Structure 1
Amino acid sequence: MTVSDRYRKAWDGFWEQSNGEAGEAFWDADASLTAERDIALLTPHADPALPLADLGCGNGTQTRHLATRFAVVVGVDLCAAAVAHARRADPAGTATYEQVNLADDAQAHALHDRLGDTHVYMRAVLHQSDPEDRPAVAASVATLVGDRGRALVLEPTGEAKAVLQDHAERTGGPSPKLRRVKEHDLRPGEVAEGEIAGLLRDAGLHVLDEGATALAMSETGADGTPVMLPARWFVAGRRP
């Protein structure tokens, strides 16, 4: 299975017209507000000896931080331009970066063959995937974690749409960062209550822990604080 031409073109266009700098994208918040906080949810369940894959790594902001916590980290993205940005931003090679279509079972298995069982960090990827691709993406997560790995999956809830709408309608209209999202036809998808847990279970994973959280954006509100999208997090693995 492969992603739709519309989806691929939308993301290729976004990253090809980006400079790759940290914070340029609407969602690319500083790692101190994202990966640093998020990873504490995974570590109680995770074997520290295993590698970690950052799925949907974009320009690698979170990947580089994760590489300070795990010995082997690979950033994975659908778009060649995103992977190129991530590599340029990491001249020391603290992590590696690969172009992988997560809706392609063969590519997921090939990555697992190279890494072995691996932990997964996946922040706000499923809701951006076309609904018909989500089961395949969840299956790729299950392939990567294998028997020993654990996945941390964070996704905005339905309430996030109202936050985005409110931000778009603020005085002066949408910010340049938010306008770029619309211009490139990046469509935040609706994620129904229970959908993420269901996708993980259907892929053969057990939800080991979950809870409410909020996803920090690089954009700020009128008060200067980061826009925060209501979200839920899930830790999942092959065995309970």
Structure 2
Amino acid sequence: MLSGNVPSILGNLKNLRILDLMDNMFSGVIPPSIFNLSLLTALDIGFNLFHGNIPSDIGISLPNLEFFSIASNQFTGSIPVSISNASNLELLQLSLNNLTGEVPTLEKLHRLNFFTLFSNHLGSGQANDLNFLSSLTNSTTLEYLSIKRNNFGGELPKQISNLSTMLGVISLAENNIFGSIPAGIEKLVSLRVFDVSTNKISVRQEGKEESLNRALSGMS
């Protein structure tokens, strides 16, 4: 139940590898000095009362990050393009904030295993909102993906069926996504949860309804 602001003198701990402030009542902004601790491999500030923006150069200033969570805070602004430069990331948890704008390409995050954006205000309801999903085909060990409860629009990318075969959960619910579910979804052999509810998605797929229905039956 720690509260108050995080002291900027933590930024003097140049050899710090792990900083875990999760599940307290810290408030204010994260001191800029924290984002200069270039040896950090894990930064978890989730479930607090922090606000402000994610630094635009985070993927450059913290190149060794493997675990980054700001879940359940009050962060605003956009997701920095530089996040893809933190190519060691295995967990990226940005859910339950007030983030806006487009999601940048994540093509360099080859090691990503767990990725959540749910419950933000991301996307603009436009056709290119889901381009970033195509870049996740490089994340060959991805197991969990949730982008539900945002403002994502556009057509469901066919590249969904080319995501990691280790994926157990894909949640795209409560957006404005349209199009059809790719018949190739049956290639995601580890999938246990595929949630596209409260969108505008059809299961019709020119001549492929039967194989698609078999695939969806096997996931239930």
TM-score of the two chains, using structure 1 as the length reference: 0.26
- Structure with the bigger RCO (C-alpha within 8 Å, sep 6+) is 1
Pick the structure with greater CA Rg. 2
TM-score of the two chains, using structure 2 as the length reference: 0.27
